[in-house]
Amino acid sequence: MTNLGQLRAEAPAYEDPASSAPIPIREITGETKIGGEDISLTYRAPSNPADTTDPTLLLIIHGWGGPELAYSELGAEAARRGKPSLTYGEGRSLGLVGDLNPLNLLRVAQLSSKAAWAAMRYAREEFGHDESDLYGHSWGGQTAVNVALHKPEHVRGVILDGSCGLDEHSLPTMIGRTGQFARDELLPALGSLARKPGPRVGAQALHYVWRHPGRTLAEGLNAGSTNLHARIRRLGSRGIWVSAIQSPSDTYFKLEEVRRDSQHLFGEHFHVRDDPDSNHLAPQLDPEGTADLIMSALLLRLNGRDLEPATDTSLSLIVDTESLATAV
């Protein structure tokens, strides 16, 4: 296990933006569609290509209930550090027929994977990024892993931040923790979130939840009951590395439980934030620190000190790749 302070000390020549002038960035918005669902996107990159420090795209995959705007500051901070980024958000509707199809409530993980793949495909076609690093926060961790399994030729690595599926929790436990999260994390953070990224994030969050309440509930149930261990090992057998970031005061996925159940999957690439008060909302409340940690974790991987990937070819792929294949 490493922390951010250790990473900064060990990493090669990545210059902390706090000690230098910020890199000017450009933002380009766009739209795409997959399976009848509209996908909005925002691409960010250094204005001057010469300022790019790592040309591999960072695809930022949102957590459950998290609209695109909630990750906009993180996307901007990654671009200011010289790494192009893409955030996206689903329209939350598959059309009248799709929304009324109860089978889609059983396919929420696949729907999320298709949306992320559509975003990757957009970045490849519009900006030439054939390969991506996938950053998945919370429920987005499962999406990142699923997409990497199905499209390994377009994925360099995966970073899981406060991800579901790493600790051996039960669904009733996760349901109970939702109230604790709202009381201890979300409510105290509302003022900060209203200032940055701004009040529109609330409207986007309401749209996310209430445009299709059944789908939102099904996503929450899926996030609360999934286990990613076998899939992470499967990624290792395909040569795709996975790193993990955890916050000490995360009320959803508690550090001691995630460390107990999953640290062995990551070895030295299991990172814990320095701030003991950082929680599940760290990507929103501290996008600068999160971007620093992402960049340092990537450099640790690219510095030639990577461990051999875990392999277990006896494990089956626990993802509906057939349904995801229809996204191509």
State mean pLDDT over 217-221: 94
Please tell me which residue, 314 or 173, carries the higher pLDDT value.
Answer: 173
Return the closest-CA partner of residue 319 out of 147, 76, 193: 147
Write the CATH number of the domain with boundaries 2-322: 3.40.50.1820
Look up the pTM and report it.
0.87
Burial 293-305 (b: 16+ CB within 10 A, else e): bbbbbbbbbbeee
Strand partners, 135: 60, 159
Domain boundaries, the chain: 2-322
Interatomic CA distance for residues 187 and 164, integer angstroms:
21
Q: Is the pLDDT at 54 greater than 50, yes or no? A: yes
**pLDDT computed for residue 2 by the predictor:** 43
pLDDT (mean) for 182-197? 92
Average pLDDT over residues 232-240: 94
325 vs 306: CA distance, rounded Å: 31
pLDDT band for position 303 (cuts 50, 70, 90): confident
Per residue in 75-132, pLDDT tens? 999 999 999 999 999 988 888 888 889 999 999 999 999 999 999 999 999 999 999 9
